[in-house]
Structure 1
Amino acid sequence: MKLLVLCALVAAAAAWPNFGMMADSPGGASDAQKQHDVNNILWKIYGEIRDPHLKELSQTFDPLSGHYDDGGVSARRLMKELNDERLLEQKHWFSLFNTRQRQEALMLYDVLEHSTDWDTFAGNAAFFRVRMNEGEFVYAIYAAVVHSHLTEHVVLPPLYEVTPHLFTNSGAIQAAYKAKMTQTAVTIKSQFTGSKSNPEQRVAYFGEDIGMNTHHVTWHLEFPFWWDDAHEDHHIDRKGESFFWVHHQLTVRFDAERLSNYLDPVDELHWDDVIYEGFAPHTMYKYGGSFPSRQDNVQFVDVAGVAQVRDMVLLENRIRDAIAHGYITGRDGTVISIMNSHGIDILGDVIESSTYSPNHEYYGSLHNTAHIMLGRQGDPHGKFDLPPGVLEHFETATRDPAFFRLHKYMDAIFREHKDSLTPYTKEDLEFTGVSVHSITFNNKLTTFFEDFKYSLINAVDDSPQAQDVPIYAVIPRLANNEFKIDYRIDNNNEREVMATMRVFMWPKYDNNKVEFSFNEGRWHAIEMDKFWVKLSPGENSLTRSSKDSAITVPDVPSFQTLINKTKEAMTSGSEDMAVAGLHESTSFNHYGCHDGKYPDKKPHGYPLDRRVDDERIITGVSNFKAMDIKVFHTE
């Protein structure tokens, strides 16, 4: 692997991010009380509410009596849909890509988001918990907790313990039901899909990792494509660019894992070509049957009620035409240049397509529609009335290797745009007076698999005859030893300067053992860290632990841990109910702050995001340092 470090100037006007805990909790309730209510409203989502107070609220609270900053418009709209019996029934699958189901979930999100006090928020949560579809309810609660000011310090329980069916293979789920029926405490060894005869099984640990699945769905909760500034209190900064970057990073990381397992990089999907790899999810919905399978060598066909293949080709051509011309045409006919650093942000909004797209009618929704098109190829005409495929859920999408082929296809479109921009010059890259003198790793870089255990108690139904018993799933997850990097940086300026350290790593060789050129390698670069540092005049020595990396976050505490710590906090009167630093790290590391602002002015991937015609332009500046490193895997 090749490691590259760039020390870049931080603009003087850039604000340092502040993620300090607020002393006062808005909304008239303590943080501990809010955590308690969220815990209980999400526990056993398909069963009855167990908390007496919330259970009473579910029957006595009147949403129209609540306090809202929209005058109660959202509450009245949802109540009318409920009273007119238009809402999706309970015990039915839910998909965010289903337009009507998404609208219903967002109706509840609006009610919660516009609640101005905790009594109103909690009352609505309890009331609609027992009346709305469970999937819609869970999505609305998670989205509201992520974005509401009332829940700034609430820690959401891990989704894989709230809706385990979306993260666990069906064999483990069936074993969990047996354990509940026989009242036997058990730890079930869960398996990845497929078999050793399928080469894709070698990298199933990546696409099916529950931490990665959680990251993917969490990112889309924090940067939702449905976010509308007209109804929210802030604009999400660089949302389209972040869409590009986070999926680009998933794609290049997956390719790196493949190279490490003697597999070729993934090929792009194309609308006029076959989907070579099939996929059998081996997972089931809680209600609604099993996730559909797809055979090998399936040709893309039209999907009834969604799109025709030719529509997808047309949208792709319109977007590529815009890149070739260097501008997007707005819905009012205005010319919007993308030949600048901001162009990737506009293009990301167009390709996804989010509500930020300047012309959704013309450029369509390439990403979202493609997910449905690919997910439905097992039953494209609805002949067998199958539920949505794994590609139609952010929780499950990466389980299908075709997810990465789909995003490789879109990544190539993004690269087409990036390569059309003028390469960075020496003046764009250098940091006058600053040089990276040396980089030293304090120990060997090693990866290994370790067992990860999580609860399946919410996967099984309740009954008066069978009490809850401890039921866990255990699955291997890729991990690495902690390592530290020592940096020695010289600041030859006569004053203290603020700098951004950017660390990237890419495979040195391709699948044919040919060394990547700098220009090709930099597109495969994996962002390893990014942090700010004050450099005093003279020699500066700093040490950075892998645990502090900007791209890593701790696992969310287990559901039971949150419940226990919340109980302790409420008993003692303390607000400290979560893991130290959890709020800070999760707020920043998903590429943004709680107010929607991104605390960095450089493009994602700078300075490797633009083509490099001559690598000496980058390697020749003193604030850049490269070295070869080896990563070892131990069994």
Structure 2
Amino acid sequence: MLLVLCALVVAAAAWPNFGMMASPGSSTSDAQKQHDVNSVLWKVYEELHDPHLKELSQTFDPLSGHYDDDGVSAKRLMQEFNDHRLLEQKHWFSLFNTRQREEALMLYDVLEHSSDWDTFAGNAAYFRVRMNEGEFVYAIYAAVIHSELTHHVVLPPLYEVTPHLFTNSEVIQEAYKAKMTQTATKIESHFTGSKSNPEQRVAYFGEDIGMNTHHVTWHLEFPFWWDDSHENHHIERKGENFFWVHHQLTVRFDAERLSNYLDPVDELHWDDLIHEGFAPHTMYKYGGYFPSRPDNVHFEDVDGVARVRDMLILESRIRDAIAHGYITAKDGSTINIRDSKGINVLGDVIESSMYSPNPQYYGALHNTAHVMLGRQGDPHGKFDLPPGVLEHFETATRDPAFFRLHKYMDNIFREHKDSLPPYTKEELEFPGIAVDSISFSNRLETYFENFEYSLINAVDDTEQIPDVPISTTVPRLAHKDFTAEFGITNNNENDVMATVRVFAWPKYDNNHVEFSFDDGSWNAIELDRFWTKLTPGHNTITRSSRDSAVTVPDVPSFQTLMTKTEQALASGSALHLEDFHSSLGLPNRFLIPKGKSEGMEFHLVVFASDGAKDAAVDGLHQITTFHHYGLHDGTYPDHQPHGYPLDRHVDDERIITGVTNFKAIDVKVYHVEH
């Protein structure tokens, strides 16, 4: 199969229209764009394989391209390159390294400001062979996600582009052996650790390659470095999205723990022990192994990053702001956060992103914390170790301490949410609307399946020796497809638009003590959110688990993308990858938690709110590709806060359970061992 793919790539040389510069505004097919992106990411540590791109990498002049910033970005990057200031190739890259991030973003700016495809692709080819591979991959992924030229380009799965960041080192070593002996090999992967470590029971969650991809993709879509003064749009509710995506990861992790007879995770704190150590069992392509951390170590100051007392001071300032109900801006003015929009400001502050109103005072709690925790294996640089797993969004969730760190920040966010007044009956009810029933087509059932992905890009290459198939299989959680059916009565005389919100939380803790409504609602997992039209009378709404707005399907393998692309180019037909244009969401496999073999009870709630009031964009009920965290232009389609109506403290649950547009049932999730 791989030999066929290589032949197809080489055959692409016969197709015209790439090597010559086109005038601004000329069109390039989606298939050609997909082909070019595939080609620059294929075997990114080796020479370019595509003949046209290879030639272009030597003949293209970045200063001759067409740009919407008059070539300012290209001139800057070329100056840095000509002055030999860029990071060398075959060296590790970390986004949290300030200089390395600056270099990657220089290339991102060049690509983002390219005003036609020939300029974009020419720059990609030129810098592919000259810049550090990690910086290049990051810039390409960020540019394809945000550029106006690449709306229909599907990025290959990162775990097949840079497999070292997703695959245990033992498997990588087996892959090298297979390459050297020219033996087609399928290698079995295992999760990190042993059965003597209780955390091993939930390793399938944090180490899942789809989960890792989700985490890095979210941070590519909503990067902390995003600066409106340099970009083409403002990202609405970026800080709130930061809160919500990590809150959902935290509560989902707790649900997986309860599924495996473990207590919910405790928060990590600066003046306490880091109880759980971690041995990553992963290695950089170049630069050694990821550092380990033993059990029960105290946080130490990290040279050149921060002192532990600095982190305590930043935390104190943020908690003080929550208690007072306002953030102090750079100019000394105050920004009220004691309302539904306050969470957005607080998210920008805690991350801290370029949207933070006062990073000098409040710092960057989240970003600095990642580096602080990642460096605890070598805090003073004594052993010159490379960055830890917490310093890469691709690898961060592998470390159980990631979830303890985010539980710590989630509790800070909860302080803010608890400071807001509970919703009143008037804020919750949807006059004339009653949710009557909730049912499922079959029982909710999960299981583990083996997933295979290619390791071809993990091993070194030479044109003299052909590729042999090398892959690995890893167990991953999946669920049986199901359909939910909601019975909703519209007692009004006219059609109404409704937003249907579906949540669930574990009914009991690990001691089989039932969660209070207040604690349960804070730990609610969002399962779906969609808009629908309700006609007068009874409405039956069916919703497939595959259509959940919070999840996305698995991206096709790199091989599949290449095959489909070359076939479209050869036939001159359209390339249909519409289902994968947005990769922003959890893998659909993780829609429901693992559950237990005897069944694990969840409290499932459905809330129908006024869609006409909620919608910030027209025609949401007709949009079949609802973008859960916002639309491509940065606008957010829902006026209500993330988690509404469960995002605030509940003094008396009868206020919410008493409205007719709210319905709750108990369901069980069964795990089937094959």
Shift in Å at residue 574 of structure 1? 1.5
Q: Partner residue of 1:583? A: 581
User: Please, which runs of 5 or more residues in structure 2 have no aligned partner?
Assistant: 1-23, 585-624
Structure 1, residues 259-314: CA drift from partner, whole Å, max 9, x if none? 11011111111100010000000000000000000000010010000000000000
Distance across 1 between alignment mates of 2:560 and 2:411: 43
Q: Which moved more, 1:586-595 or 1:189-198?
A: 586-595
Which of 610, 625, 631 does residue 648 from structure 2 map onto?
610
The one-letter code sitting in structure 2 at the alignment partner of 1:506 is W
Distance across 2 between alignment mates of 1:465 and 1:42: 21
Q: Partner residue of 2:529? A: 530
Q: Partner residue of 1:147? A: 146
The one-letter code sitting in structure 2 at the alignment partner of 1:278 is G
Q: Partner residue of 2:600? A: none
Distance across 2 between alignment mates of 1:343 and 1:165: 40
Q: Partner residue of 1:291? A: 290
2:219 aligned with 1:181, yes or no?
Answer: no
Shift in Å at residue 513 of structure 1? 1.1
Distance across 1 between alignment mates of 2:41 and 2:26: 20
The one-letter code sitting in structure 1 at the alignment partner of 2:108 is Y
Distance across 2 between alignment mates of 1:236 and 1:351: 17
Q: Partner residue of 1:438? A: 437
CA contact (8 A) 1:208 1:398 kept: yes
Q: Partner residue of 2:107? A: 108
Superposition pairs for residues 295-314 of structure 1, below 5 Å? 295-314=294-313
Superposition pairs for residues 28-107 of structure 1, below 5 Å? 28-107=27-106
The one-letter code sitting in structure 1 at the alignment partner of 2:356 is S
Distance across 2 between alignment mates of 1:564 and 1:456: 17
Q: Partner residue of 1:402? A: 401
Alignment length (residue pairs) = 610
Q: Partner residue of 1:358? A: 357
Distance across 2 between alignment mates of 1:447 and 1:61: 52
Structure 1, residues 91-119: CA drift from partner, whole Å, max 9, x if none? 00000000000000000000000000011
Shift in Å at residue 28 of structure 1? 2.5
Structure 1, residues 397-453: CA drift from partner, whole Å, max 9, x if none? 000000000000000000000000011000110000000011111111100000011
Distance across 2 between alignment mates of 1:176 and 1:553: 29
Q: Partner residue of 1:512? A: 511
Structure 1, residues 490-535: CA drift from partner, whole Å, max 9, x if none? 0000000000000000000112211001001001100001111100
Shift in Å at residue 582 of structure 1? 2.3
Q: Partner residue of 1:560? A: 559
The one-letter code sitting in structure 1 at the alignment partner of 2:662 is F
CA contact (8 A) 1:26 1:150 kept: no
CA contact (8 A) 1:27 1:150 kept: no
2:667 aligned with 1:629, yes or no?
Answer: yes
Distance across 1 between alignment mates of 2:180 and 2:655: 67
Which of 601, 619, 623 does residue 657 from structure 2 map onto?
619
Distance across 1 between alignment mates of 2:278 and 2:180: 32
Shift in Å at residue 589 of structure 1? 4.1
CA contact (8 A) 1:455 1:471 kept: yes
The one-letter code sitting in structure 1 at the alignment partner of 2:298 is Q
Shift in Å at residue 40 of structure 1? 0.1
The one-letter code sitting in structure 2 at the alignment partner of 1:158 is P
SS in 1 for 2:581: helix
Structure 1, residues 112-159: CA drift from partner, whole Å, max 9, x if none? 000000110000000000110000000000000000000110000000
The one-letter code sitting in structure 2 at the alignment partner of 1:622 is T
Shift in Å at residue 27 of structure 1? 5.5
SS in 1 for 2:645: coil
Distance across 1 between alignment mates of 2:445 and 2:187: 28
Q: Partner residue of 1:20? A: none
Shift in Å at residue 467 of structure 1? 1.5
Change over 3 Å in CA distance of 1:180–1:105 after alignment to 2: same
The one-letter code sitting in structure 1 at the alignment partner of 2:671 is H
Change over 3 Å in CA distance of 1:131–1:377 after alignment to 2: same
The one-letter code sitting in structure 2 at the alignment partner of 1:576 is L
Which of 589, 592, 608 does residue 630 from structure 2 map onto?
592
Distance across 1 between alignment mates of 2:423 and 2:635: 25
Change over 3 Å in CA distance of 1:220–1:471 after alignment to 2: same
2:261 aligned with 1:223, yes or no?
Answer: no
CA contact (8 A) 1:562 1:577 kept: no
CA contact (8 A) 1:457 1:472 kept: yes
**CA-atom RMSD, angstroms?**
1.1
Superposition pairs for residues 109-508 of structure 1, below 5 Å? 109-508=108-507
Distance across 2 between alignment mates of 1:588 and 1:35: 23
The one-letter code sitting in structure 2 at the alignment partner of 1:411 is D
Structure 1, residues 294-341: CA drift from partner, whole Å, max 9, x if none? 000010010000000000000000000000000000001111000111
Structure 1, residues 6-31: CA drift from partner, whole Å, max 9, x if none? xxxxxxxxxxxxxxxxxxx9762111
Distance across 1 between alignment mates of 2:300 and 2:263: 27
Q: TM-score, normalised by structure 1?
A: 0.95
Change over 3 Å in CA distance of 1:481–1:27 after alignment to 2: farther
Shift in Å at residue 622 of structure 1? 0.1
Distance across 1 between alignment mates of 2:87 and 2:532: 51
Distance across 2 between alignment mates of 1:27 and 1:140: 24
SS in 2 for 1:150: coil
The one-letter code sitting in structure 2 at the alignment partner of 1:582 is F
Distance across 2 between alignment mates of 1:606 and 1:432: 17
Distance across 1 between alignment mates of 2:463 and 2:33: 29
CA contact (8 A) 1:375 1:389 kept: yes
SS in 1 for 2:327: strand
User: Please, which runs of 5 or more residues in structure 1 have no aligned partner?
Assistant: 1-24
CA contact (8 A) 1:491 1:538 kept: yes
CA contact (8 A) 1:226 1:354 kept: yes
Shift in Å at residue 551 of structure 1? 1.4
CA contact (8 A) 1:237 1:597 kept: yes
The one-letter code sitting in structure 2 at the alignment partner of 1:615 is E
SS in 2 for 1:629: strand
CA contact (8 A) 1:42 1:162 kept: yes
Distance across 2 between alignment mates of 1:221 and 1:247: 14
The one-letter code sitting in structure 2 at the alignment partner of 1:368 is N
Shift in Å at residue 465 of structure 1? 4.5
CA contact (8 A) 1:553 1:589 kept: no
SS in 2 for 1:286: coil
Change over 3 Å in CA distance of 1:268–1:584 after alignment to 2: closer
Distance across 2 between alignment mates of 1:630 and 1:435: 24
The one-letter code sitting in structure 2 at the alignment partner of 1:52 is P
CA contact (8 A) 2:555 2:583 kept: no
Distance across 2 between alignment mates of 1:218 and 1:632: 30
Distance across 2 between alignment mates of 1:147 and 1:597: 14
Structure 1, residues 456-501: CA drift from partner, whole Å, max 9, x if none? 0000000244321111110000000001111110000000000000
SS in 1 for 2:551: coil
The one-letter code sitting in structure 2 at the alignment partner of 1:432 is P
Q: Partner residue of 2:606? A: none
